Amino acid sequence: MYRYNQQDQAGVDARVAEFRDQTARYLAGSLSADEFRHLRLRNGLYVQRFAPMLRVSIPYGLLSSKQMRMLAHIARKYDKGYGHFTTRQNIQYNWPKLETVPDILADLATVEMHAIQTSGNCIRNITSDPLAGAARDELVDPRPYCELTRHWATFHPEFNWLPRKFKLAFSATTSDRAATRVHDIGIHIVRNAAGELGYEVYVGGGLGRTPIIGQKIRDFLPEADLLSYCEAILRIYNLLGRRDNIYKARIKILVKEMGLAAFAEQVEAEWQRIKDGPLKLQAGQLEAMKAHFGSFHYDASAAADQSYAQRLERDSAFAAWTKRNLQPHRVDGYHLVFLSLKARGVAPGDVDAAQMDAIADLADRYSFGELRATHNQNLVLADVRQQDLYPLWQELVRLNLATPNIGLLTDVICCPGLDFCSLSNASSIAVAEEIFDRFESLDYQHDIGEIKLNMSGCMNGCGHHSVGHIGVLGVDKKGEEWYQITLGGSSGNDASLGDRTGPSVERAHIADAIQTLVETYLELRLNEDESFLDCYRRVGMPAYKRRLYPEAA
Amino acid sequence: MSLLLDRLGQRIPDLYPEWTEPGTPPPGQPRLLTLERFMEEGAPAAAAVLLPNTANVLSLPASVLACPLLVLDYPAFADGRAYSQARLLSRNGRYSGELRARGGAVVYDQLRMLKICCFTQFLLRADQDDEACSLLLSSTATR
């Protein structure tokens, strides 16, 4: 993975000192609360319902075991012993004390981590495919491109005070696992007809109150022009994005109001002026960055192992786990392993400090000392030999990280909800738990197959409800929790926004409603190969609506 | 009274007081005019121009680019439009006079970014610690 050079380290250390000074000035009363708010947000610090919340950056979700141990240390020393992995591959702590945050940041800096630009109206953490570098279906490893972009975006002096937050995501496969189309800029690394590498660029996607699927602004951008093109987009957005209304300030609204063609024209004009300047990637630059990634020495005899097949035959629980929680690796004899953070009775995405330490040990033992956080709020050990899968699985079972539900109904994406967030209308974690109880039978879940259930506690959409195959959104009705349901959303390459089923459902009936929708699907599907999403797209809303609201029929 | 600093953090006099009174000042007297007024008065010599942060700096007339001083405005602490205006103006020597930042963002916590984005003068917001700002500017390298 990428390691900081002296300049990177100096920049992060200086930022810690700067934030320590800002915090001291705020506490002494010489920095106003409003200005401190802007400054602390740019260091990942929110003030939430009960306590501050600190969001730590995990660039494109990649962590070393050493970093994971530091995250455990922070959970223990400064928080209540756990952390929450987010949909943008970061980790959040829900209980730090404001006064101790500079110390947390100083601790993070010792392992090349920080919370810079994890919130505020600036360029946020760059996200990507959590299987990058190991996936069988990828064109190239997107991480060197992400890291170059991260370098460009971090401390960018011109883009620290944008109209609104700005998120970029990269994908280099035909099965988008990074939700790129719901990002402000989504970048697909592609090859053109001439065999050259470059990018398909999408702009103006986003969730929140006005969810919009990003539109393609460029079919093919040459490989060397990545940063200059992003800079041109950001500059036009910084100058022209709306600042009069926070709900209309994202780039998606600018693109919508100007129209894609007019927006693209301005970007193109600016890009032409800067594309041959200092931002143009030099061949050596990209090669040097690529050398930081994926240089593991894979065991050439891994595929010759016989024990894995025997274990599969003898242990059905192990076999069930391998069926759900593994993905094929580009190297024969290796597998990508998902650690499910969606166990019964655990808030989706939560990991405690003891688990973190244990996961770090497992990464060292079985996966070259690295791990990844996923957009779906799980973790991945990306390079596990097949002969190691059984002992790894046994350890994961003991750690409660082996629920074989990846991609199934209980693998929900969920925001922290009312339990932590001051914006939320819904106890999303409690609802997730109820759904877990309802669909606990794994056989039933396997029968239902691939399905994405995404849940947000409010319109801001942190739980990505708009792109869930089933989306659930908490709404407030005269102080009561109600839930609006959408169907048919997707954040994959075929990205789409879900359609509302109709009137919202009260708290007591939300689990019933989801069960009804699932049962309807099971009745309607052509066969077991037709997924929930495909089936919905084929039959449309009326059939589901009739079942969900029988009284209206 | 707001303090005006140069790139090295040295205090400098404001040679272009803002002319807000009706009527025309004596010819040749240095003053700061809004873009609108500058154009109305036919681009008077010895005038500096205050640009709103909504101005398209790529379509400014040559007379504006020939001014000895352009002032960019930060109406609020968190409104960063003028950063991009400054970049566009200073790029490739398009504008080579003095570039001044003024307003709600000209504060200790943004001076470094302002300097990197090519501002040459900083009219500190009135509540700022002059000495700390001066020291910060003197120790900030630009890239």
pLDDT of residue A344: 86
Please give the backbone phi and psi of residue A289, each rounded to the nearest 5 degrees, phi first.
-70, -40
**Token pair for residue A9?**
């380290």
pLDDT attached to residue A520 = 96
Indicate the helix (H) or strand (E) that contains A35. Answer: helix A33-41
Q: What is the pLDDT of residue B142?
A: 67
Tokens standing for residue A250 = 């994202």
- CA-to-CA distance for B97 and B33, rounded, in angstroms? 16
Token output for B137: 């500017």
Domain ranges for chain A: 6-109, 143-289, 302-398, 413-552
User: Dihedral through CA A486, CA A491, CA A494, CA A497, nearest 10?
Assistant: 30
Count the helix, strand and coil residues of chain B and give each as a percent rounded to the nearest 5: 30, 20, 50
Reading phi first (left if > 0) and then psi (alpha if -120 to 50, else beta), residue A222 is in: beta
CATH architecture of A302-398: Alpha-Beta Complex (3.90)
* A231 → chain B, closest CA residue: B84
DSSP symbols for B31-45: EEEEHHHHHHTT--T
Q: What is the pLDDT of residues A285-309, one digit of tens each?
A: 999 999 999 789 999 999 999 999 9
* Contacting residues for A18 by C-beta, under 8 A, at least 6 apart: none
Distance, in Å, from the CA atom of B12 to the CA atom of B3, rounded to the nearest integer, reads 8
What is the per-residue pLDDT across B86-119, written as a single tens digit (0 to 9) for each? 999 999 889 999 999 999 999 999 999 999 999 9
With b meaning 16 or more CB within 10 Å and e meaning fewer, what string describes B101-111? bbbebbbbbbb
The gap from C-alpha A104 to its chain's centroid, in whole angstroms, comes to: 23
User: Distance (Å, rounded) from C-alpha A413 to C-alpha A430?
Assistant: 13
Q: Do domains A6-109 and A302-398 have the same CATH topology?
A: yes
> A238 and B107 in contact by Cβ < 8 A?
no
Asked if A412 and A348 touch (Cβ cutoff 8 Å), the reply is yes
Residues in chain A closer than 8 A to B79 (CB atoms): 161, 243
Strands (E), A132-286: 168-171, 185-191, 197-203, 215-222
Which CA distances in Å does A20 have to A39, A75, A105? 11, 20, 9
Question: In chain A, which residue's Cα lies nearest the Cα of B77?
Answer: A35
- Which segments of A397-452 are extended strands (E)? 413-414
Give φ, ψ of B72 to 5 degrees. -105, 145
- Three-state DSSP class for residue A442: helix
Residue A551: what pLDDT?
Answer: 83
The mean predicted confidence, pLDDT, of chain A is 94
Better pLDDT: B38 or B29: B38
Cβ pair B84:A239 closer than 8 A = yes
Tell me if residue A520 falls in helix, strand or coil. helix
Contact A235 B87 (CB under 8 A): yes
Confidence band, pLDDT 50/70/90 cuts, at residue B141? confident
CA distance A181 to A137: 19
What pLDDT, on a 0 to 100 scale, did the predictor assign at position A48? 67
Tell me the mean pLDDT in the region A194-222: 96
pLDDT 10s digits, A132-191:
999 999 999 999 999 999 999 999 999 999 999 999 999 999 889 999 999 999 999 999
Share of chain A above pLDDT 90, in %: 86
pLDDT, residue A215, reads 97
Question: Does the distance separating the beta carbons of A22 and B83 come in below 8 Å?
Answer: no
User: How high is the ipTM of this complex?
Assistant: 0.96
Greatest extent of chain A over all pairs of C-alpha atoms, in Å: 68
Report CA torsion sign: A327, A328, A330, A336: positive
Any idea which fold A413-552 has? Sulfite Reductase Hemoprotein; domain 1 (3.30.413)
**Can you give the pLDDT at residue A553?**
60
Cβ of B78 under 8 Å from any chain A Cβ? yes
Mutate to test the interface with A, among B58, B79, B106, B109 (most CBs of A within 10 A): B109
Average pLDDT on A317-345 reads 95
Chain A to chain B, count of Cβ pairs less than 8 Å apart?
47
Query: For the range A51-54, what are the long-range contacts, defined as Cβ-Cβ under 8 Å and sequence gap of 24 or more?
Result: A51/A94, A51/A95, A51/A96, A51/A97, A52/A95, A52/A96, A52/A97, A52/A98, A52/A101, A53/A92, A53/A93, A53/A94, A53/A96, A53/A420, A54/A92, A54/A93, A54/A96, A54/A101, A54/A104, A54/A115
SS3 label, residue A203: strand
Structure tokens at A205: 């996607």
A72-97: pLDDT as tens digits = 999 999 999 999 999 989 999 988 99
* Backbone φ and ψ of A480, nearest 5°: -105, 150
Query: Judged by CB atoms within 8 Å, which residues 20-59 of B form the interface with A?
Result: none
| Percent with pLDDT over 70 in chain A | 99
Q: Is the dihedral of CA A491, A497, A501, A506 positive or negative?
A: positive
Q: Nearest Cβ partner of A239 from B81, B109, B112?
A: B81
> What is residue A139's three-state secondary structure?
coil
CB-side exposure of A80: number of CA atoms within 13 Å?
A: 10
Nearest CB to A238 within list B84, B113, B116: B84
- What is the pLDDT at residue A5? 96
A157–B109 CB contact, under 8 Å: no
Q: Do A22 and B107 touch (CB under 8 A)?
A: no
- Mutation choice for B interface testing from A37, A43, A158 by most B CBs within 10 A: A158
Smallest Cα distance from A238 to chain B, Å: 6
- Over the stretch A477-513, which tens digit does the pLDDT of each residue have? 888 889 999 999 999 889 999 999 999 999 999 999 9
pLDDT at B24 over 80: no
Across A437-459, average pLDDT: 89
Among B81, B88, B113, the residue with its CB nearest the CB of A157 is B113
Task: Give the pairing type, strands A197-203 and A215-222.
Answer: antiparallel
B88 touches chain A (CB under 8 A): yes
Burial of A542 (0-12, 13-18, 19+ CB in 10 A): exposed
Q: For residue A300, what are the contacts with CB-CB under 8 A and spacing of at least 6?
A: none
B105: which chain A residues are within 8 Å (Cβ-Cβ)? 161
Q: What residues does B50 pair with on adjacent strands?
A: B34, B71
- Going by their DSSP bridges, the two strands A62-64 and A470-477 should be labelled as unpaired
**pLDDT at A420 > cutoff 80:** no
Question: Would you call B79 and A243 a contact, using CB atoms and an 8 Å cutoff?
Answer: yes
Three-state DSSP at A477 gives strand
Q: Do A158 and B109 touch (CB under 8 A)?
A: no
Torsion, Cα of B37, B40, B44, B46 (10° steps): 10
Rounded CA gap, B54 and B65, in Å?
Answer: 17
Q: Computed from CA positions of residues B122, B126, B127, B132, in that sequence, does the dihedral angle turn out positive or negative?
A: positive
Contact B78 A38 (CB under 8 A): yes
B94 touching chain A per CB within 8 A: no
2.60.40.10, 3.90.480.20, 3.40.50.2020, 3.40.50.720: CATH of A6-109 = 3.90.480.20
- Torsion over CA of A307, A311, A312 and A317, rounded to 10 degrees? -150
Residue with tokens 């600036």: A122
Q: What are the φ and ψ backbone dihedral angles of A179, each rounded to 5 degrees? A: 55, 40
Q: Is the pLDDT of residue B143 over 60?
A: no
Maximal C-alpha separation, chain B: 44
Q: Indicate the pairing of strand B31-34 with strand B47-51.
A: parallel
CATH classification of A143-289 is 1.10.3720.10, yes or no?
Answer: no
Q: What angle do CA A434, A177, A502 make, to 5 degrees?
A: 45
Spans of all domains in chain B: 4-139
In this complex, the residue of A121, A158, A238 whose CB is nearest that of residue B78 is: A121
Q: Mutating which of B73, B84, B91, B125 best tests the A interface, going by the most A Cβ atoms within 10 A?
A: B84
Whole-number pLDDT of residue B1: 58
Per-residue confidence band for B29, with pLDDT thresholds at 50, 70 and 90: confident
The model's confidence at residue A385, banded by pLDDT at 50, 70 and 90, is: very high
- Coil, strand or helix at A382: strand
pLDDT at A521 over 90: yes
Q: What is the DSSP code string of A62-90? A: EEEHHHHHHHHHHHHHHSSSEEEE-TTS-
- pLDDT tens-digit readout, A8-22: 999 999 999 999 999
| Most confident by average pLDDT, A49-63, A145-159, A409-423, A467-481 | A145-159
Given the structure tokens 């849940």, which residue do they identify?
Answer: A455
Give the model's confidence band at B39: pLDDT under 50 very low, under 70 low, under 90 confident, else very high: very high
Mean pLDDT score, A450-471: 92
d(CA A552, CA A191) in angstroms, rounded, equals 51
Facing residue for B113 by CB, picked from A22, A160, A274? A160
CB atoms B85 and A239 under 8 Å:
yes
Is some CB atom of chain A closer than 8 A to the CB atom of B130? no
Tokens representing A64?
């070393």
Cα(A223)–Cα(A283) distance, integer angstroms = 10
Strand, coil or helix: what is A480? strand
Q: How far is CA A197 from CA A223, A224, A285, in A?
A: 6, 9, 15
Q: Over the stretch A529-545, which tens digit does the pLDDT of each residue have?
A: 999 999 999 999 999 99
Counting Cβ atoms within 10 Å, is residue B62 exposed (0-12), middle (13-18) or buried (19+)? exposed
CA-nearest residue to B86 within chain A is A158
Residue B116 touches partner A, C-beta closer than 8 Å:
yes
CB contact under 8 A, B78 and A158: no
